[in-house]
Chain A
Amino acid sequence: MSQRLVAMLVSLALALALAACSSAASPSAGAMVVTDAWARTSMGMDMAGAAYMTITNETGQADALIGVATDAAANPEIHQTTEDASGMMGMHPVERINIPAGGTVTLEPGGFHVMLINLTGELVADSTIELTLTFEKAGEVEVTAQVRAN
């Protein structure tokens, strides 16, 4: 847990494009900033994997994560684990994760996560996988996630 490898990415071209098209509304518009992206080492290929990250919306307008694509899994889905008041923890797919302007959403164990269903290969420690996040307004953002045990 100690050494979080920060593998992140600000897509300059995207940021510029966004700034151009939304400059009237938000002169300080930046980008979707994704940090601490990681995926857990998988239990072989039959069981789904999970990827986590922190997303900060610096675009100046409310946006939402609406999709994830990756070569690492045939069916990546955005899921959320929630715990009810009785302590039951359950997981369900979500269609979107809203991120207010200036807000940060953390995908973390026990909360939101990218479920990597039908892995195309085993996720082995110290490797990386590429994820393409799709935001409703900011469009696509490429992310590299480190694979590690926990």
Chain B
Amino acid sequence: MTQRPTPEPLVPVVGARDPRPASPAPPPIDRRAAVVGAVVLGIVGLLAAGLVALVVLERSGALPAASATRSPDDYAMAEVAPAPPLDLVDQDGAPFSLDSLAGRPVLLFFGYTHCPDVCPTTVGTVTEALTAVGDGPRAVFTSIDPERDGVAEMKAYLRYLHPAFIGLSGSPVAIRTAADGWGVRYARVETGSAGGYAMSHTADTFLVDGQGRLRAVFPFGTDAAPMAAFLERLLAETPPPSEPPATPLASVPATSAAPTPGPSPTIAPATPGTATGDLLAMIVSSSVWSGGDSPVIFKVADAAGTPLDGTTGIRARVVSATDGTPAGPDEDAVAIRPPGETATSYVASLDIPSPGAWRIVLTASTGATGSVPVNALDPGTTTPIGAPAPDVRTPTVDDVGGLALAVTTQPEPDLRLSRTSTADARAAGQPYVLVIDSVAFKVSPACGRALSMIRYLLDRWTDVAFIHLEPFEYSIVTSEPVLQGDLANPPLNDQTRAFGIGDKTWSPLAMPWIFVVDGEGIVRAKYTGIVGSADVDVIVSLIKGEGVIR
């Protein structure tokens, strides 16, 4: 992710990503320190021992201990500024805004009700803090899983929480807008679990004071003690209203619980990343490219927030982000619902003239319009969408005598990703999804995530080849992969280079990559950085011609 532009939060939530002071994380293990002699690739030896070492390494991700000794000041915002908006819908279906809690400190965090580990842990910590300080503060749980969490689900969930909790939900667009404002990131991740998909998300807890200002950010794993101490401080600064209302939202007129006509009240019109007009749109595509046709995937809803199901046609056009000047013609979007999915996506092939900020204007067959901002990426020298994929042979596990570590650094390799070469798929006229990613050599925070995401798609598309390619040259030394060079400037292998990665636009540190190639060998989509599974799923569905509605 070193080069990929990311949307800036509305308010610079400086340090919100990780204000964690230096000490709690366990020291990383230097793998190379354990390596004694260089043994060439191909020597099997102690593979199993290597796996143990990798699993132990993974453990370093667990929550840091002993935050109880920290002072509340360790979590304070250096600059006190108004909290970003949180204009969503509460558990009773009423519009919510932080203003309704003015005068009270509020602990708030983002999560989802199906979350069994991280979110209940945060709920528990926040509950401890609330209990410690007594009446006054409120807590807000905002769901970042709009597919599963609606008003009713939040209401049911709150039955199990401290009464000071408020549960917010909203449309996918509204949730994404709110989360962006707070610098909160999330993604749906398919895991193959019986529990359904998981949501990956940042898990900080934010503290807003009675004047609506963001005062502190507590990373996941913080104890209740500093939260409670900070709450006490804020309560001393501003005593809460003496008569707490029976419900936190008693001031909201009951009529506002009814569906509101017109543009959704949950969307602040001036917010970057927000749709405007009477169509609400969200761009699903995690990479949108400039310089030639690039598929852009949308979810579209009407003004009431009801998702369009494909019976309505959508046309899309690129316009200037500054003055709205059209930069291309209206293109018909394909409406598609991949097999087994309930949500309809629209895919428009758009030619965005240059990298940077643009706006996409959508027009429905009903006459409704809307628009959504988009940030187009510079493709650099990467293989263009619409061009033939390079004729390279990615190594399969059979090519290397069955030594999995030679073709994948996944600690528990899914060898289905290493059975077919790009050359085999091409020869067979089989579509393929090439995942260029590394678990061992994490040059970006997104590394490994493309692989775990793609393992879900394997089961959905059995006649599509899913192929993992390690991006870097490495050797195997005492059953561990060892990079042939420096992690700050890792050597790309030939196959990865063939896809045009490693130029001045996309350095070797920009990982992972996904290329979706059709049965004719043509690149139909490409992604870099964090990639949503819905993204690739929709493109594969399109290539296969399955689930196309119009």
| Interface residues, chain A, with chain B CB atoms under 8 Å away | 1, 40-44, 46-50, 62, 75, 77, 79-98, 100, 103, 105-106, 108-113, 115-118, 149-150
Interface flag for B445 (CB, 8 Å): yes
Distance in angstroms from B188 CB to nearest chain A CB is 10
Which of these binds chain A: B197-205, B268-276, B303-311? B197-205
Interface: B504 (CB within 8 A)? no
Contact of A117 among B59, B159, B195, B442 (CB under 8 A): B195
**Stretch in B32-40, B75-83, B120-128, B333-341 touching the partner:** B120-128
- Asked if A81 and B191 sit within 8 Å, CB to CB, the answer is no
Contact B62 A43 (CB under 8 A): no
Contact call B114/A47, Cβ cutoff below 8 A? yes
Most interface-central of A112, A113, A150 (chain B CB within 10 A): A150
- The 29 sampled A-B contact pairs (Cβ below 8 Å) are A42-B160, A43-B120, A43-B160, A44-B160, A46-B156, A47-B116, A48-B114, A82-B58, A83-B203, A86-B17, A86-B202, A87-B219, A88-B530, A89-B202, A90-B200, A92-B191, A92-B198, A98-B56, A100-B52, A108-B62, A109-B118, A109-B121, A111-B63, A112-B59, A113-B116, A115-B116, A115-B117, A115-B193, A150-B120
B392 within 8 A of A: no
Q: How far is it, in angstroms, between the C-alpha of A91 and the C-alpha of B194 when the chains are bound?
A: 13
Chain B residues closer than 8 Å to A115, beta-carbon distance: 116-117, 193, 195
Evaluate contact between B118 and A43: CB separation under 8 angstroms. no
- What are the 6 A-B residue pairs with the smallest beta carbon separation, nearest first? A111-B62, A150-B124, A110-B63, A90-B200, A86-B445, A75-B194
B221 touches A88 (CB 8 A): no
Residues of A within 8 A of B446 (CB): 84, 86
CA distance A89 to B202 in the complex (A): 6
User: A150 contacts which of B121, B191, B221, B452 (Cβ < 8 Å)?
Assistant: B121
The answer on a CB contact under 8 Å between B445 and A40 is no
Using a Cβ cutoff of 8 Å, how many contacts connect chains A and B? 157
A21 and B51 CA atoms in complex are apart in Å by 25
Residues of A within 8 A of B161 (CB): 43
B520 is an interface residue with CB less than 8 A from chain A: no
**Please, how many residues of chain B have a CB less than 8 angstroms from a CB on the other chain?**
57
A82-B113 in contact given A89-B200, A93-B191 (Cβ < 8 Å): no
- Provide the residues of chain B in CB contact with A42, threshold 8 Å: 160
Min Cβ gap B115→A in Å is 8
Cβ contacts under 8 Å, B55 to chain A = 97-98
User: In whole angstroms, what is the CA distance A88 to B198 when docked?
Assistant: 12
Most chain-B Cβ atoms within 10 A of its Cβ — which of A81, A117, A118?
Answer: A81
Bound CA span A88–B110, Å: 12
What residues on B are CB-neighbors of A48 within 8 Å?
114, 116, 195
A48 CA to B148 CA, complexed, in Å: 14
A4 CB, nearest partner CB in chain B, Å: 14
5 other contacts beyond A81-B118, A149-B124, A150-B121, with CB at 8 A cut-off?
A84-B446, A89-B200, A110-B220, A111-B62, A117-B193
Contacts A86-B445, A97-B55; is A112 near B124 (CB within 8 Å)? no
A100 CB, min distance to chain B CBs, angstroms: 6
Are the CB atoms of A110 and B156 closer together than 8 Å? no
Residues of A within 8 A of B48 (CB): 62
CB contacts (< 8 Å) of A149 on chain B: these are 124, 127
Residue numbers in A under 8 Å from B160 (CB-CB): 41-44
Q: Give the residues from 401 to 437 in chain B that come closer than 8 angstroms, CB to CB, to chain A.
A: 412
Selected from A62, A89, A118, the residue in CB contact (under 8 A) with B52 is A62
A39–B62 Cα gap in the complex (Å)? 17
Chain A residues with Cβ under 8 A from B127's Cβ?
149-150
> How far, in angstroms, from A95 to B193 measured CA to CA in the complex?
11
Q: Which of B115, B199, B412 gathers most chain A CB within 10 Å?
A: B115
CB-CB under 8 A from B116, the residues of chain A are: 40, 47-50, 79, 91, 113, 115-116
Looking at the assembled complex, report how far the CB atom of A68 sits from the nearest CB atom of chain B, in whole angstroms. Answer: 13
